[in-house]
Amino acid sequence: MKETLSKFKFWYQKAGELGAQYYNAPYRAAIARAKREEDDMFMLLVFSEMMGVPNPASWYCLELQPLLLDRFHQWHQRMGMEHSPLDNFRCC
């Protein structure tokens, strides 16, 4: 009985592995690529921060400033600062 059960477990596990492969195989590349791009972006940010290399992302962040303004304002108030702590980023 025990042997049958372990056999069944083995086959169930095997079928599960093949099923997962069947599910993933056609799209593995697209999903892995998307994940790799995210990792690359993260690596770039962390690495440039660590080495003091001017971060290319800050250029693009400038464009986001108007969009972030509201959220920034709420953030510094939550943090107990009445006004923006940054000289070059005044919101109120």
Partner 1 sequence: MSAIVLLVLGLGGMALGYFFYSRFIANHIYKLDENFKTPAHEMEDGVDFVPTNKFVLWGHHFTSVAGAAPIVGPAIAVIWGWLPAFLWVTVGTIFFAGVHDFGAIWASIRNRAKSVGALTGEVVGKRARAVFMIVIFLVLLMVNAVFGVVIAKLLINNPGAVVPVWGAVAVALVIGQLIYRFKFSLGWVSLIGIIVLYALIYVGPSMPITLPASTLGLSASASWILLLFLYAAIASLLPVWMLLQPRDYINGLQLFVGLILLYAAVLIANPSVVAPMINMNVPANTPSMVPLLFVTIACGAISGFHGLVASGTTSKQLNKETDARFVGYFGAVGEGALALAAIIAATAGFASLADWQAVYSAFGKGGVLAFVDGGAAILHAGTGIDAAVASTMLTVMAALFAGTTMDTGLRLQRYIFQEWGEIYNIKWMGKALPATLLAVGSCLVLAFGAGGADGSGGLLIWPLFGTTNQLLAGLTLLVITVMLVRRKSPTIYTLAPLVFLLVMTLAALLLQLKGFYDQQKWFLLGLDVVVLVAAILVTLECAAALKAEKRKAAEAE
Q: Cα 91 to the chain's mean position, in Å? A: 28
Half-sphere exposure of 76 (CA within 13 A, CB side): 15
Instruction: List binders of partner 1 among 57-86 (CB under 8 A).
Output: none
Give whichever of 14 and 83 is closer to partner 1, judged by the CB atom.
Answer: 14
In contact, 85 and 77? CB cutoff 8 Å: no
From the list 16-24, 41-49, 50-58, 60-68, the region that binds partner 1 by CB under 8 A is 16-24
**From candidates 7, 9, 11, 28, binder to partner 1 by CB under 8 A:** 28
Among 11, 32, 56, 86, binds partner 1 (CB under 8 A): 32
Please, which residue, 34 or 68, has the CB nearer to partner 1? Answer: 34
Which residues have a Cβ under 8 Å from the Cβ of 85 and sit 6 or more positions away? Answer: 76
